[in-house]
Structure 1
Amino acid sequence: LLPASCRVLCGGEALPPDLARRLVEQAGEVWNLYGPTETTVWSARHRLDAQDDRPLLGGPLGNTTLHILDGDLNLAPVGVAGELYIGGAGLARGYWRRGALTAERFIPDPFGPPGARLYRTGDVARWRSDGVLDYVGRADHQVKIRGFRIELGEIEARLMAQQGVRAAVVVAREAGAGRQLVGYVSGDALDGAALKTALSLVLPDYMVPARIVVLERLPLTPNGKIDRKALPAPDQLTTPVEHVAPRTPAEAALAAIWADLLRQPDIGVTDNFFELGGDSII
């Protein structure tokens, strides 16, 4: 237990929402601190509140600037996600003996004085209407499905906000004729179908995973991060269901259409079009 007068500073890794809630309940002050090593080392801070559904990044520290930019380095409007760029006195000079990487990540600051630079973090965030910075996810975890560009981190954050979820990750997997989102969670007394229903209340339908798989624990890399490549395919975890072959000419015709569209043989009459990888465009 923490004394009520204790001030807790959390940094280094993303703060899990359930841990944040427990800390806020116990400590007098809890701060979420954000900043990559290249900005030596904290760049933003936010004092956590019991009303926050997940930890926020807040605003910049002194002598630091935070910009949310689109692919053309234009400022993103409030509420629109973009890549986070950091400027100010804390920036490193670059990477030792890696000129190309330095030029890629440390760019001229279009909003600052001559010679000023910005660091491209690779993190996706957005400004809220109250001026607080909200972390969305990693730029390299952005996918395009059904014509929509999706930030996987945003779905993961919504999953982590659900009761009992200790860890969550969302990936895009090839399924049938296209790609579909699959969520993986671990925690206490979780039900994948119930989590899908909960997400459908706060996310548009194209962002709700087709499957949410509950695992005892998520696979980790040697340095403790979730190993996305080691996540099992949903088919490996599916309880075999009795195949019901088409019984009428109409069912046979429909199954043949599905097999052609989804590029999957042996379609049964109890199969679910969307769980097999179908979508409204197909």
Structure 2
Amino acid sequence: LEEESDSNPQAVLHRHNLAYIIYTSGSTGKPKGVGVAHHALVEHAQVAVGFFGLDSTDRMLQFSTINFDGFIEQLFPPLCAGAAIVLRGPVLWDSETFHRELIEKRITVADLTTAYWFMLVQDFARNEPRDYGLLRQVHAGGEAMSPEGLKAWCEAGFDGVTLLNTYGPTEAAVTATVSNCSDYWQGNNEISVQVPIGSPLAARRIYLLDANLTPVPPGISGELCIGGELLARGYLNRGGLTAERFIADPFDETGGRLYRTGDLARWRSDGQIEYLGRLDHQVKIRGFRIELGEIETQLLAQPEVREAVVVAREGAGASNPAGGARLVAYVSLHADAEMEVSRLREALGKILPDYMLPSMIVVLESLPLNPSGKVDRKALPEPEFTHTEHYEAPQGEAEEVLAGIWGQVLGVAEVGRHDNFFELGGHSLAILQVQQKLQQALSVALPLRLHFENPLLKDIASAIQEKRSRASEKDTEQADLLGMAELLDLLES
């Protein structure tokens, strides 16, 4: 090292060189690598400094993991502004941990997924408004923001904190549009059924187009297309897909490009954009973008499965009383083939992350078809939850309390001791809610991994009972030691 130069290395770099690749779900079972150039990263970092309002006094939470494009937005902009970054670590915080860290770490800006934000504000709204320290701005993005979330935000006492509803695909360098939600609790606007995603950021152009790539008038839905200089270069080693999604911009005389998001949206009369859903079968579950075809591909890879289709069920229903988007898989098996749903779920769990696992798997004799021979998704039956084994009621205090908590969090009327948390529709965010309610009810804190390693109610309840017993033994030992100390004091006196 002593022989090396003290000067900065001369990096030969062009603005269009690749800066990073982030993989998103792919419809063929093969994820797509989105490649973003250095100039797009640099320019977006400067734009983000602006709408974050960052300066050197800020402390921004690094919430997202490195494989999620939110990581880019939570790392580079604060560094460019000379601000501090607060690392979350590998464990997803529950609401109480989030509040404690918020105060102790003096966090001023937090950029969260919408699903996690919704869980936080719901928990905070159930209690009295509290002090949120130096927090001045929160961004929620990744999926549609609900009016219920805005109401909970107000009830939780966040009215002094700026809330931004953000939208943007990985292919457009993270965030493309922003909506300031402050008008809703300042009385300027009523909370609408569709919370707008706002208007485009600098260096982006938004077009809502029909099937002929003609702009649609306000109030009419169209495909949301993004133009400007900050688009990704394309998909790594996927020239055909790049040409399909990144097209020539017919409105740019300089030869720019448009990215076809596949999202459906419409202009409001005030110039804001309302997000309406997906044109295809791509969905977002808890902030993660998922191609349903990728799950279908893995189902069809199982030797026993003949047909498979996966749908996202939105809102409350018989199988989903708690509401929110859940994945439901429908399969039919080959003749004479047998396969238990639990074994099929176990096989998927070895391949797919937990947020891509269907909440329910329904086995049919055959999938319904429409006159053209394609699967008729509208004719798929509403799934009904049935216990995987014979129902057996919870036994003992720990099982009864835990069953009640699962029922509240997952919206299930009847929970048995042999029920599987994930087969009831559980997921990582739901575990945090269960953990918090367990702490309140039984003063027990369990490791997050326990639910993944032992998802049956009776097994988790057994761990709860064992931990309570150890705590009781420790209390008895401390009481004995205290008694001995008092006896020694008496003898000495």
TM-score (normalizing by structure 2) = 0.32
Q: Give the secondary structure class of the aligned counterpart of 1:33.
A: strand
- Structure 1 residues 229 and 110: alpha-carbon distance in aligned structure 2, compared to 1, 3 A threshold: farther
> Which runs of structure 2 are paired with 1:1-282 in the superposition (5 Å)?
1=130, 2=132, 6-25=136-155, 26-27=157-158, 28-48=161-181, 49-50=184-185, 51-53=190-192, 54-141=194-281, 185-186=315-316, 212-213=317-318, 215-216=320-321, 219-220=326-327, 222-224=353-355, 227=358, 230=361, 233-234=381-382, 236=384
- Name the CA shift for 1:113/1:137 in 2 (closer, same or farther; >3 Å): same
Paired letter, 2:153: L
Cα distance, 1:185 vs. partner? 3.4
Q: Deviations over 1:181-239 (max 9, x none)?
A: x97534xxxxxxxxxxxxxxxxxxxxxxxxx53534564584536948847833857xx
Percent of pairs identical after alignment? 39
Task: For residues 131-167 of structure 1, give each alpha carbon's deviation from its aligned partner in whole angstroms, at most 9, with x where no partner exists.
Answer: 110000000159xxxxxxxxx99xxxxxxxxxxxxxx
Greater percentage in strand = 1
Bigger mean CA offset, 55-64 vs 133-142: 133-142
Letter paired with 2:236? W
TM-aligned CA deviation for residue 58 of structure 1? 0.7
Q: Which runs of 5+ in 1 are unaligned?
A: 143-151, 154-181, 187-211, 238-282
Inter-CA distance 228–137: structure 2 relative to 1 (3 Å threshold): farther
| Amino acid across the alignment from 1:22 | A
Measure, in 2, the Cα distance between the counterparts of 1:69 and 1:79. Answer: 12
Q: In 2 relative to 1, CA 3–21 (structure 1 residues): closer, same or farther, beyond 3 Å?
A: farther
Provide the rounded CA distance (Å) in 2 between the counterparts of 1:140 and 1:114.
30
CA distance in 2, matches of 1:235, 1:110: 45
* In 2, Cα distance between equivalents of 1:89 and 1:226: 36
Stretch of structure 1 that moved more, 120-129 or 133-142:
133-142
Contact residue 20 and residue 55 of structure 1 kept, 8 A: no
Mapped partners of 1:226, 1:38: distance in 2: 25
Residues 1:128 and 1:216: Cα distance change in structure 2 (over 3 Å) = closer
Q: Secondary structure at the residue paired with 2:236? A: coil
| SS of residue matched to 1:66 | strand
Distance between the aligned counterparts of 2:257 and 2:359, measured in 1?
Answer: 33
- Tell me how far apart the structure 2 counterparts of residues 8 and 228 of structure 1 sit (CA, whole Å): 30
CA distance in 2, matches of 1:69, 1:183: 27
Rounded Cα–Cα distance in structure 2 between residues aligned with 1:9 and 1:235: 35
Count of residues paired in the alignment: 176
Which whole-Å CA distance do the structure 2 matches of 1:24 and 1:4 have between them? Answer: 18
Unaligned runs of 5+ in 2: 1-129, 285-311, 328-351, 363-379, 386-493
**Partner AA of 1:52 in structure 2:** I
Q: 2:342 aligns to what? A: none
Query: 8 Å contact 1:33–1:57 — kept in the other structure?
Result: yes
CA RMSD of aligned residues (A): 3.3
Residues 138, 226 of structure 1: alpha-carbon distance in 2 compared, 3 angstrom cutoff: farther
- Secondary structure at 2:150 match in 1: helix
